[in-house]
Amino acid sequence: MKYPIKIIIGLGNPGAKYHYNRHNIGFLVIDALAEKYGASWQKKADRETADIEINGEKITLVKPQTFMNSSGKVIPSLLKQGLTANNLLVIHDELEKPFGKVEMKTGGSHRGHNGLRSIMEQCGADFHRLRFGVGRPQNKEDVPDYVLSNFGKDEVVEPLIENAVKMIEEVI
């Protein structure tokens, strides 16, 4: 199934200390897309953007620089360009999926994910998502520390990122 994607937003937190965190998998996947297509990042006030072309379609990659809980702040300016939620693909970490399970989904709830909540506040829930499973800690109170911790040595992420890039290419 092809999606009318014009913008791909990778969710994460800016700054080197967050780079390899579970919560930053959106940034890691979008960085892999930019690298594969030879794009260079342009800094703007609240985001970094890069333009690529996949299967003949011009796509703008976006990394919000507002921290995860305020990711939706980039949405109003995108919607002013005539885009709709249906033109967005958001890449995010997913606690409800086991580590390494990657899947596409359209719509749904935020299930407590503050980055998704922030985006939904700006454009509703009818955007496309690439959900990257990071697993869940046993205790709910450990979730904040868990998502802000780095992937473990036994969690080999690079092949999964490559798989996520292929999944994106298949739907555009």
In a domain, 1, yes or no: no
DSSP codes of every residue in 37-79: TT---EE-SSEEEEEEEETTEEEEEEEESS-GGGGGGGHHHHH
Domain extent for 49: 7-171
Instruction: Supply 78's token pair.
Output: 């995108």
In a domain, 154, yes or no: yes
In a domain, 123, yes or no: yes
Handedness of CA 82, 86, 89, 93 (dihedral sign): positive
Tell me: pLDDT of 1 over 90. Answer: no
In a domain, 138, yes or no: yes
Give the helix/strand (H/E) hosting 131.
Answer: strand 128-133
128 is catalytic: no
Summary mean pLDDT of the chain? 96
| Annotated active-site residue in 23, 92, 113, 128 | 23
Question: What is the count of structural domains for the chain?
Answer: 1
According to DSSP H, which parts of the chain are helical? Answer: 25-36, 75-79, 114-123, 143-147, 158-171
Q: What is the per-residue pLDDT across 113-150, written as a single tens digit (0 to 9) for each?
A: 999 999 999 999 999 999 999 999 999 999 999 999 99
Residue 75: CATH number of its domain? 3.40.50.1470
Mean pLDDT of 34-43: 98
Q: What is the per-residue pLDDT across 40-86, written as a single tens digit (0 to 9) for each?
A: 999 998 999 999 999 999 999 999 999 999 999 999 998 888 999 99
